[in-house]
Amino acid sequence: MKITPQKLYEILNNRFGNLDWWPMDGKYHKKNGSDQRFEVIIGAILTQNTAWSNVEKAISSLKSQKVLDINSINKISIKELQKLIKSSGFFNQKAERLKNLALFFIQNYQGNLDNFFKKDINDVRNELLSLNGVGPETADSIILYAGSLPIFVVDAYTRRICERLPMNTEISYEAIQNYFEKELAKNYTKDGLIKIYNNLHAMIVILGKNYCKKNPKCKECPLDKYCNYYKNLIQ
């Protein structure tokens, strides 16, 4: 039985509800006069190839030194930044990427994220993808969660789920993204899509981490009756 992105959303939302992702510390940024959207951008870099729990430790270290804004990341020494984000893994590469991002925003947008995100979404995406260490998933996470612009983020969990169900799409990043966006756009406005993309991606992450794992817990999964992978297991 084929399942559509809309049906997938309804099933997962019934199980998990609104997950209100991406987490940001609004109180910290209000107190320090910083832009909380840059915390999302930092998190999108730090979460590459690591668990979110490790990212949280790194962000806490940055907060403890009040280095959670564009200008502070730009000014801090690379060695000090590496120490602060060590818990996230690959900290040498990630420190360099964060420094490059901060410099990019300062040189091109005076450190003002409003100036960056008010551009056409395709221009925003192309500029992000031109930066070292920013691939499609990272770029799209920044666009959706920091920029509040309608784009569907595809990760390894999404590809796994699309393959196992299966869904009516090829398994490449672009094919899955195009399929979800085309199908969901039939049912929601632009503002509605931002909320749907946000929560759907968060729910897929929860599903992939806890149920549709490499060694899946199919009997507990809310998609069990739609999943060919599970049907093949029990035959």
pTM, two decimal places: 0.95
- pLDDT, tens digit, for every residue of 149-193? 999 999 999 999 999 999 999 999 999 999 999 999 999 998 999
- Hey, what are 17's tokens? 């509800």
CA distances from 178 to 6, 162, 193, 212 (A): 14, 13, 14, 22
Comparing CA positions, the residue from 146, 195, 185, 117 lying closest to residue 41 is 146
Say whether 91 sits in a helix, a strand or coil: helix
- pLDDT, tens digit, for every residue of 18-60? 998 898 999 999 999 999 999 999 999 999 999 999 999 999 9
Number of Cβ within 10 Å of residue 191's Cβ equals 10
Average pLDDT over residues 60-82: 97
CA distances from 217 to 208, 210, 223, 230 (A): 10, 8, 11, 9
Domains of the chain from N-terminus onward = 5-20+152-234 (1.10.1670.10), 34-146 (1.10.340.30)
